[in-house]
Chains A and B, each alone.
Chain A
């Protein structure tokens, strides 16, 4: 079976499990079958039947769990259901002797290993030491990560000149100290061995000198005809320096043109602003001011770089410290389930076209005039929903907020502006500023293609854009592109576009380059390099300088000179120097946020805007395109961290899928893992089905970014390319999709069923614990919380019986603990990646994920509750709970996991012999085992990435979270040197630091004033599986919802 299986799933081999056992066949221990996700076709009817039996209060992790498939059972009862030995063919009767042989050999080897001499090492000091570097101590530099929606301010940890870990910059408005997953993964991108390393000319390795000559000769031609025929295509950029450079370049070559192309750019939002205000404006949401929020198909909590700031502001209004606290209320209507939808107090799944109708109906209900032809709500919207929502909004005039998502057509954005204005929110919860982008406001690809088709382009320079892959399917960029006489590409990777260019030149990563970038509110941050370019790449600024005939100019000079030219006339050199140093140090340029513009939405034009595309004909589905939650528009496809990060809600890794609602899947007769052929407007592509509870009916969601043909060893050839169906007219939404089952099956790697904790156990009468209900997740409404603040606490019969055979530990100094507020967690997964970066956690690949061997120390469990069609969704980050009565410690035969006098469950890698008894005994299933040599010990560029303070684990070693003990030790040493105690907040674990919503708090629970102690005293605090008497140090704060009573009663 494994022969037919390829790690980087190949479409043509979709029928590998044709011989899979029937769904009702159970496997017992000793059976040779390997149990893997996706082998057993899911029976949706069984899932529905299982749900119908319950009282609707049941939490469920996956459809497979509901249907009771054997693999789901296997994952429930075993932490690692796939015994590695069972994968190998073996003859009968030799197992015992093999064991004896292995025991003898390992006993002999373990004795010998003590005799190995340490290898002779060299110490190579500097000749002239650079200032500030102290060997053994990291340095931190502020920089910014550019992004279309606004840059993220970062503080990057650097060990001896190697950037190793990204943190947020707490002084940066777009970060406030946190980051998203893309910023975390960017450091892996820097060291990616697949990055483009040399100048390539017509497929052969060349050098910069040859490129300079080629450019020097070409502009001679451009000089004479003012650059006619020269076209420059970039992605969207917010860099003021770049804008100034382009302005100068276009002045030098007045007949040249600049186009911008961003496959998932905010073009709809911009066009919506133009419809409403008559000009392009950027919207900034003040979620800290909003009591009632309506998200119309917007994943503002988890998509785009602005989500980091928005998640913080949003979560700050949901802390619910005590029963009298107020909470905001979130309504979400969306097609594809998102994290924002999961956070919603009320959520509706609507088809893409219905959402426009909904927006219109809502606008009419709150009195926005010019609602167009009809103000009737879509049939699927419950009767009093819109009226109740409108009343709630009217009650909160000036403190409500309506957010339209990028995928909605401009008309809906315009309606949202009009509604915000009608509700008095403009200037209160939503601010308007000038657009951030300095590149052309509209997507210029279509026009560029027209020009290329007309033969008006004789040189096309592409900067960091990949139109061959991302271009609309109907415009056929490639064939027209090939007619251009001189094609030049600057990029991090030799990608699909680079392949077709005469010249491909390597670009410097943002951690290697000087630049500048604006945050979501316009605040400028300087992009400061952490390391010299690894592969002699050039930044976009240096590249534009080359085009302008200024080869030798350094990025530093370009950026600094630009800001020098911007200084006030009377500022002295000294003052500028101070300003520059301060800006570099702080990571933000003071006072550069854009001023708020007063803007009045023109309601009439907003209301009369055209409606969204409608479904075309019966039997057809509509399709919505989305950037992939973890690899974006495809530019992050070569990041193993991002590929293996389980996507929110589906928990898929290494693939995209055709997402359908359960009802639609039933109607089509398809189930999880069935390959289907998608046809849209004469184009086709095949992909596997994923049934997504809560998805809108009659609509399929396709995630962009997969099916890369040239991405690198990691990203090439995995998933299917949804761009092949995406046309220029309908960027995000299209009707007329046909889905046909091909009959093939495809293995999807989802972690949804991994590490399941048996919950909702039946009430069991036992002597010790007379009743228990494993409420892994504890949920209440704000109303319930006010009536019974202790609703989340364990019943007294459990708490009073918490005795132990073992003597209690005494914690006289520190006692580390953690609290996770489920009410704030948005499930974004940034903690998973931050942990991976901080702790040198390996990537295992798709096949190993399928086998349940994913290595991430934190997992974000995802639970559903309620019916299949619109369930509630909940998140729960689970890492090692650092139990005081730890079941793992007592079973380790070699003392590799022991208890520290500060309450940590230590994991000592060099002692571990890999018995796996500990993980077998862990009720939380948080231990990870290196079944193979997962860490990369051979690729030189990846050595630079490693955190030098954490051991890189080898094969056969167990590993797990230790609350970032390297950070604890470092802080303790510093405090002891200063003869004081560690201050609260001085130790910040990687997951705590990155969390955009501040859901994770770490500290000393012996200090009653610490933040974590205060959280633990809140009434929502509870232990996970407290009835087991493990006394976890990590506790959870119950989740609250704040539903509108008018809707709940209905």
Chain B
């Protein structure tokens, strides 16, 4: 009986076995890399807004406190987006004719809300609470990044679960003194771990990694 398979088949079979394993691993890596990539998470991608609002100008250059607009950040799960009225406290006085601000004036005039595009989004099954983070010494920029340098706002972090857990497992790496929570220029000191450990004790921060902390 003649040989059915040529000798080269051995190579092909070896290649296909190792190749299949390689492809499987590669596919896994692609999925992993993709899920954390800006393509999926929109990290560092500025979003178009009805009004090109600049945090760089307002928070950075003018130094307006975060809480002037995000009023409920200390009391509520939701930090709050400013109502048109808040914009108009200043813009009824300055830049009253700027074309860029027409949607704001129109909103105020017609009593119709401005529809902003959400930049930092969590899935609906995640229950995040701003007020407790702020109360425990987690600064705005820890999650929202260099907001004072953003002409248009982008998400600075993936907000994925592994990222959240990074801090929930080791809060001492990120916690800052409460007086700097709303500072947009705060930089972690070189002795962060030492300071962090002290603050964790002082603020009674517990490493909360129970699922129901965020999911329910």
Contact = CB atoms under 8 A, between A and B. Distances in A.
Interface of A: 111-112, 114-118, 120-129, 134-137, 813, 898, 900-902, 904, 906, 908-911, 949-951, 962, 965-966, 969, 973, 976-977, 979
A900 B210 contact: yes
B97 interface: no
B75 A965 contact: no
Interface size class of B (residues with CB under 8 A): 35 or more
B42 A126 contact: no
Contact of A117 (B40, B132, B212): B40
A115 B82 contact: no
24 contacts: A118-B121, A121-B117, A121-B121, A123-B115, A125-B81, A125-B82, A126-B113, A127-B84, A128-B111, A134-B72, A134-B75, A134-B80, A135-B72, A136-B76, A904-B210, A906-B216, A909-B125, A950-B216, A965-B216, A966-B127, A969-B129, A976-B204, A977-B135, A979-B204
Contacts of B216: 906, 949-951, 962, 965-966, 969
A115 B35 contact: yes
A969 B204 CA distance: 16
B81 A973 contact: no
A950 B124 CA distance: 10
B212 A115 contact: no
Contacts of B213: 969
Nearest to B132: A973
A115 B31 contact: yes
Given A122-B116, A949-B216, A129 B72 contact: no
Nearest to B113: A124
B204 to A, nearest CB: 7
Contact of B136 (A125, A910, A976): A976
Contacts of A125: 80-84, 113-114, 116
Interface of B: 28, 31, 34-35, 40, 42, 72, 75-78, 80-85, 107-108, 111-118, 121, 123-125, 127, 129, 131-132, 135-136, 204, 206, 210-213, 215-216
Nearest to B77: A136
Contacts of B114: 124-125
B72 A136 contact: yes
B35 A114 contact: yes
A969 B131 CA distance: 13
Contacts of A962: 212, 216
CB-based closest 10 A-B pairs: A136-B78, A136-B76, A121-B118, A900-B210, A126-B83, A910-B125, A136-B77, A125-B81, A127-B84, A129-B83
Contacts of B135: 976-977
A111 B31 contact: yes
Contacts of B107: 127
A114 B212 contact: no
B73 to A, nearest CB: 10
Nearest to B73: A136
Dominant secondary structure at the A interface: loop
Contacts, number: 129
Contact of A965 (B80, B129, B212): B212
Given A114-B31, A123-B116, A127-B108, 18 more contacts: A115-B31, A115-B35, A116-B40, A120-B117, A123-B81, A123-B118, A125-B81, A125-B113, A126-B83, A127-B83, A135-B78, A898-B210, A902-B210, A904-B212, A908-B215, A909-B215, A910-B215, A969-B127
A121 B113 CA distance: 15
A124 B107 CA distance: 11
A685 to B, nearest CB: 47
Contacts of B131: 973, 977
Contacts of A117: 40, 42
Contacts of B127: 949, 966, 969
Contact of B212 (A112, A118, A126, A906): A906
A220 to B, nearest CB: 40
Contacts of A127: 83-85, 107-108, 111-113
Give the interface centre of B40, B124, B216 by most chain A CB atoms within 10 Å: B216
Contacts of B124: 951
A109 to B, nearest CB: 12
Contact of A910 (B35, B123, B206): B123
Contacts of B78: 135-136
A127 B86 CA distance: 9
Contacts of A116: 40
Give the interface centre of A115, A127, A962, A976 by most chain B CB atoms within 10 Å: A127
B28 to A, nearest CB: 8
Contacts of A112: 31
Contacts of A979: 204
A1 to B, nearest CB: 38
A121 to B, nearest CB: 4
Contacts of B121: 118, 121
Give the interface centre of B83, B135, B210, B211 by most chain A CB atoms within 10 Å: B211
A434 to B, nearest CB: 47
Contacts of B211: 898, 900, 906, 908, 911
Contacts of B210: 898, 900-902, 904, 906
A137 B212 contact: no
Contacts of A949: 127, 216
A813 B213 CA distance: 15
Nearest to B69: A125
Contacts of B76: 134-137
B27 to A, nearest CB: 8
Contacts of B75: 134, 137
A951 B115 contact: no
A908 B108 CA distance: 43
Contacts of B112: 127
Contacts of A904: 210, 212
Contacts of B113: 124-127
A910 B136 CA distance: 27
A696 B125 CA distance: 52
B34 A115 contact: yes
Contacts of B83: 125-129
Given A124-B114, A127-B112, A136-B72, A118 B215 contact: no
Contacts of B212: 900, 904, 906, 908, 962, 965, 969
A898 B215 CA distance: 12
B80 A135 contact: yes
Nearest to B118: A121
A813 B108 CA distance: 49
Contacts of B40: 115-117
A161 B139 CA distance: 31
B85 A129 contact: yes
Given A906-B210, A973-B131, A120 B118 contact: yes
Contacts of B206: 813
B164 to A, nearest CB: 14
Contacts of A902: 210
A60 B136 CA distance: 54
A962 B113 CA distance: 38
A123 B116 CA distance: 5
A111 B117 CA distance: 28
